[in-house]
Amino acid sequence: MCCLWLGLVAKRYPNRREEDMSKREYETEGVASIEREARIKEPPMYKVMLLNDDYTTMEFVIVVLESLFRKTREEAQQIMLAVHAHGSGLAGVYTKEVAETKVETVHAMARQNEFPLRCKIEPDS
């Protein structure tokens, strides 16, 4: 197995000595591992927080949570009630761009239905 490998290497790099090869391979692996690490690093995440107000109907908030944040009716009811009771509540956690788009969509849906419903993003811890 080892001889086969050496044979293949010698054939591919006929003028290169073995020490040079291993240094080259070591450096290549170093760069590869840095690239691998950069590639698998997870992006920062952002919370989309729904905000309470006195005029948006509970049903509308539930529909927003179901349709845009993919919550079940039961989950949506719980989140809506938590927002109603505590002033704000977590609708979902996303990458920055997705979170920003969710906020814009909530505001567009609210405007279209003439509700003052607002939401905001905040860094996830």
CB 93 → ligand TYC: shortest distance, Å? 17
CB 92 → ligand TYC: shortest distance, Å? 14
The residues, ordered by sequence, that sit 6+ positions from 72 with a Cβ below 8 Å of its Cβ are 66
* DSSP secondary structure letter of residue 17: -
Q: Which is nearer to ligand TYC, 21 or 60 (CB)?
A: 60
Q: Which is nearer to ligand TYC, 46 or 50 (CB)?
A: 50
Contacts to ligand TYC by CB under 6 A: 50-54, 56-58, 61, 80, 83-84, 117
Extended beta strands in the chain, E state: 45-51, 88-95, 118-123
CB 125 → ligand TYC: shortest distance, Å? 22
Whether residue 106 contacts residue 51, with contact meaning beta carbons closer than 8 Å, is answered with no
